[in-house]
A = this chain, B = another copy of it.
């Protein structure tokens, strides 16, 4: 029996970083990306549409600051700027300044950003797709709570 299969080696490589550990850098990274604004910005830049190739959804494309701001309703400019800076620093979006007047700034997903968006999209879609079910469970739970209080 082989002492090391491909999947085992991959498992070991992954085990270098373990988000279960407080001290592991990946824990902080997990914390950073587990953020609704990150999910929404990536979804916006990623086109939020179906998988690449489909015709109905919007395509991934560079977006301007104001455009993002409008798409993600309720986001403050502070949070949008902060999120974009963080994503830029981590190599997930590029920021392009065109010296028109007034200046034009566009943001676009990098390869790394697209890979993250692939998984983050799932979160947003899960939330949208399971809203009813969650709501039902909440009603049940809250009922049981008040019933128990007699």
Is A122 close to B, CB under 8 A?
Answer: yes
Residues of B within 8 A of A90 (CB): 134, 137-138
Q: Considering the chains assembled together, what is the distance between the CA atoms of A35 and B134 in angstroms?
A: 17
Is A80 close to B, CB under 8 A?
Answer: no
The complex is assembled from copies of this chain, and their number is: 2
CB distance from A119 to the nearest CB of B (A): 4
Contacts A21-B73, A74-B27; A123 near B123 (Cβ below 8 A) = yes
Contacts A36-B27, A91-B133, A134-B29; A44 near B71 (Cβ below 8 A) = no
CB 8 Å contact bits of A12-27 with B (1 = contact, 0 = none): 0010111111100111
- Some 21 contacts from A to B, beta carbons below 8 A apart, are A14-B128, A17-B128, A20-B48, A21-B73, A22-B73, A22-B74, A31-B36, A33-B123, A34-B34, A34-B39, A90-B134, A91-B134, A91-B141, A112-B130, A112-B133, A112-B134, A112-B137, A115-B130, A116-B130, A118-B122, A119-B126
